[in-house]
Amino acid sequence: MRTELINSGKYIVMERSQVDMLLKEHGFAQLGVTDETSAVKVGKLLAAQKILIGTAMKLGESIIITGRVVDIERGIAERGAKVATKNEDEMIYAITQFIVQLTGRQVSSSYERDATPRVVIRTNKQIYTKGEDIIVTFSNFPGTKWDYISIAKKSASAADHYTYQYTSRLKEGAITFYRGVYEPGAHEVRAHTEYYKENRNLQASYVFTVR
């Protein structure tokens, strides 16, 4: 959900580690943020303009996700969203629809129900130190011998990269890039298929930072 919210481009989202640290320091990690009053308190602690609060719960066979964006200055909920899914297999679809409702914008990774799932790629962390191992998880690859994952500077073209590894025909799994990246800044892991096509057929990417 966090990733899809970032992909919508509507909000600048704070780093999860910073949020967790402040919540823990002020006791909200145990109590939770359940209403507009506590949301405003947390929002002021974080120096945020808005905060998203909500719940995800199982009701019978369905999973219900509800949420609302609270404006910190006015102390009111300005927009809400609610979606339901019958099983965990449709969770990604449900989350993208939740973000569409909440922001009024399509997100880059959304897809139609029952369509071929989009390739998904993620790193195990968002922030790395120089030379730290980077673990990349992936899913929904076509499983051809040409599928590969690359690491590149965020501003680099689809054909440029620091390093890459083939997925060995796996449709999902994990790959470790030992000793990672030494150049500080914003970088991406990228999912490619059918590399002989234009732009190396870039299917998905995920941004991480090196400090």
User: Which pLDDT belongs to residue 140?
Assistant: 85
Q: What angle do CA 39, 44, 49 make, to 5 degrees?
A: 80
* DSSP state letter for 107: -
pLDDT digits (tens, 9 = 90+) for 59-110: 887 889 999 998 998 888 888 898 888 776 678 778 888 888 888 776 655 4
DSSP letter for each residue of 28-66: HHHH---SHHHHHHHHHHHT-SEEEEEEEEEETTEEEEE
* Model confidence band, residue 149 (pLDDT cutoffs 50, 70, 90): very high
* Helical segments of the chain, H only: 2-8, 16-25, 28-31, 36-46, 91-103
Can you give the pLDDT at residue 187?
A: 95
What is the pLDDT confidence band of residue 174, given thresholds at 50, 70 and 90? very high
pTM of the prediction? Answer: 0.49
Q: What is the pLDDT of residue 76?
A: 87
Q: What is the pLDDT of residue 181?
A: 95
Looking at domain 2-103, its CATH architecture is 3-Layer(aba) Sandwich (3.40)
Report d(CA 132, CA 123) in Å as an integer.
12
* Boundaries of every domain in the chain: 2-103, 120-210
Does 156 have pLDDT greater than 80?
yes
**Cα 149 from Cα 172, distance rounded (Å):** 12
Same fold, 2-103 and 120-210: no
Q: Which residue has the tokens 């927009």?
A: 79
What's the CA gap between 64 and 85, in Å, rounded? 7
Q: Check residue 23 and give its pLDDT.
A: 78
Report yes or no: 182 and 204 within 8 Å, Cβ to Cβ.
no
* Nearest alpha-carbon partner for 173 in 131, 141, 145, 146: 141
Query: Which class is 120-210 in CATH?
Result: mainly beta
